Amino acid sequence: MSASWSQEWFRGVEPLAFGLDFSDHSMKLIALEERGHRLRLASWGHASVPEGLIERGEIRDEAGVTAVLQAFLHDGVQGERLPSRYVVLSLPEQHSFVRVLELPALGSAQLSEAVRWEAESNIPLPISEMELGWEEIVSPLGREARAEVLVAATPKKIVASYLAVLRGASLWPKVLEVESMALSRSVVPGFASVEPVLIMDLGETDTSFVIFADAVVQFTSSVSLSGADFTRAISGELNIPESEAEKLKASAGLDPGVDGGRVASVLRPLIDGLVAQIKAYLQFYREHAPPGHARHTQINQVFMIGGGANMGGLAQYLGRRLNLSVEPANPWVNVLPQPLKEVPAISYQESLAYATAIGLAIRGVQLSI
């Protein structure tokens, strides 16, 4: 993402593209189609990625991942034919940096140079080793003398490996986007919120946190605790197979009235650690929100997403501990007429794991957002 790549990264160009989301254990695909003023699901699919091919977002075996993707595209895509070979691709949050910088108002050429200089002091890796994309955003206070810029950076070697996999599968990238941006586009109504919201993505290998306000990702972070950790804890403590533990996690979860509270007693210490982490992020944002957003630093809404969001009683437990509104997100909120939360092909519970792919797919048909 040189200067020309940054334009595609944030704005993109035609033709239409589908969303493709990689994680350590799976790849997910969503293609949307515009019908009048509405969007509809056209194609979808999910494929498992064997252990060790991708580790914490880093592709370890390009040939192996390429083979999985080729087989997925050939046999695993359901619904209609894909709209093109062009892709809106997610880049791993674990290896990416997203920052909002405040700079003097400058011309585009000067601003581009200023962004690179400012990024040097805000991104903890040499800029020469990073692919850098940026976009000027509208200040919520309308301060003409200052410019706010959203900057995203990912190591060049990470980007190169993802591009190599796409080439191997005869796909072409139209937009490369950090996961947190796609996730926000999927779950925040209208992709705009003056009041800040916290998005918690309980994924297969970690839990990511995104603070979104004023149509911009303001803060991202992640911890290693994941849905798989909850399943393993239940399996180990109750001496049951992980397949059974997975079912109990969803059906009993944190409800003390189910199964004698055995599952809840296993999960509670792990979730309490998550609560402490969330409180730390909330305090950090109150104290370090960008200057232009100082009027709105209190987060009152938490959206849960990812497969782990299906844990029984989790929203209620977090709501009580945080004294906030906590609810599973609707990843179709910017696609389906409300209050619909699912499509016949993908149940609501399944769609929680498709949120990033849905956000990428929205970008694929509405490339200006």
Q: 235-267: per-residue pLDDT in tens?
A: 999 999 999 999 999 999 999 999 899 999 999
> Is residue 350 a part of any domain in this protein?
yes
Q: Do 232 and 353 reside in the same domain of the chain?
A: no
Q: Do 183 and 196 reside in the same domain of the chain?
A: no
Q: Do 13 and 86 reside in the same domain of the chain?
A: yes
Q: Do 296 and 368 reside in the same domain of the chain?
A: no
**Does residue 145 carry a pLDDT above 80?**
no
pLDDT band at 234 (very low <50, low <70, confident <90, very high): very high
Q: Do 158 and 228 reside in the same domain of the chain?
A: no
pLDDT band at 291 (very low <50, low <70, confident <90, very high): low
> Is residue 2 a part of any domain in this protein?
yes
> Is residue 116 a part of any domain in this protein?
no
Domains of the chain: total = 2
Across 61-90, average pLDDT: 97
**Does residue 199 carry a pLDDT above 90?**
yes
Asked if 317 and 254 count as a contact pair (C-beta separation under 8 A), the reply is yes
Which structural domain, as residue segments, surrounds residue 251? 189-329
> Is residue 238 a part of any domain in this protein?
yes
pLDDT band at 11 (very low <50, low <70, confident <90, very high): very low
Q: Do 223 and 174 reside in the same domain of the chain?
A: no
> Is residue 117 a part of any domain in this protein?
no
Asked if 251 and 258 count as a contact pair (C-beta separation under 8 A), the reply is yes
Q: Do 269 and 344 reside in the same domain of the chain?
A: no
Q: Do 26 and 157 reside in the same domain of the chain?
A: yes
Asked if 366 and 11 count as a contact pair (C-beta separation under 8 A), the reply is no
Instruction: State CA 279 to chain mean position distance.
Output: 20
Q: Do 199 and 323 reside in the same domain of the chain?
A: yes
> Is residue 337 a part of any domain in this protein?
yes
Q: Do 237 and 342 reside in the same domain of the chain?
A: no
| CATH number where 161 lies | 3.30.420.40
Q: What's the token pair of residue 137?
A: 């955003």
> Is residue 180 a part of any domain in this protein?
yes
What pLDDT digit, counting tens, does each position of 305-360 carry? 999 999 999 999 999 999 999 999 999 999 999 888 899 899 999 999 999 999 99
3-state DSSP of the chain: CCHHHHHHHHCCCCCCCEEEEECCCEEEEEEEEEECCEEEEEEEEEEECCCCCEECCEECCHHHHHHHHHHHHHHHCEECCCCCCEEEEEECHHHCEEEEEEEECCCHHHHHHHHHHHHHHHCCCCHHHEEEEEEEECCCCCCCCEEEEEEEEEEHHHHHHHHHHHHHCCCEEEEEEEHHHHHHHHHCHHHCCCCCEEEEEECCCCEEEEEEECCEEEEEEEECCCHHHHHHHHHHHHCCCHHHHHHHHHHCCCCCCCHHHHHHHHHHHHHHHHHHHHHHHHHHHHHHCCHHHCCCCCCCEEEEECHHHHCCCHHHHHHHHHCCEEEECCCCCCCCCCCCCCECCECHHHHHHHHHHHHHHHHHHCCCC
Q: Which residues lie closer than 8 Å to 12 by C-beta, 6 or more apart?
A: 88, 174, 175, 363, 367
> Is residue 83 a part of any domain in this protein?
yes
Q: Do 32 and 73 reside in the same domain of the chain?
A: yes
Across 39-63, average pLDDT: 97
Please tell me the distance from the alpha carbon of residue 13 to that of residue 28, in angstroms, as a whole number: 22
pLDDT band at 3 (very low <50, low <70, confident <90, very high): very low
CB 134: neighbour CB atoms within 10 A?
Answer: 23
Q: Do 64 and 9 reside in the same domain of the chain?
A: yes
Between strands 301-305 and 325-328, the pairing is parallel
pTM score, whole prediction: 0.91
Please tell me the distance from the alpha carbon of residue 343 to that of residue 337, in angstroms, as a whole number: 11
Q: Which residues lie closer than 8 Å to 335 by C-beta, 6 or more apart?
A: 32, 39, 40, 41, 358, 362
pLDDT band at 144 (very low <50, low <70, confident <90, very high): low
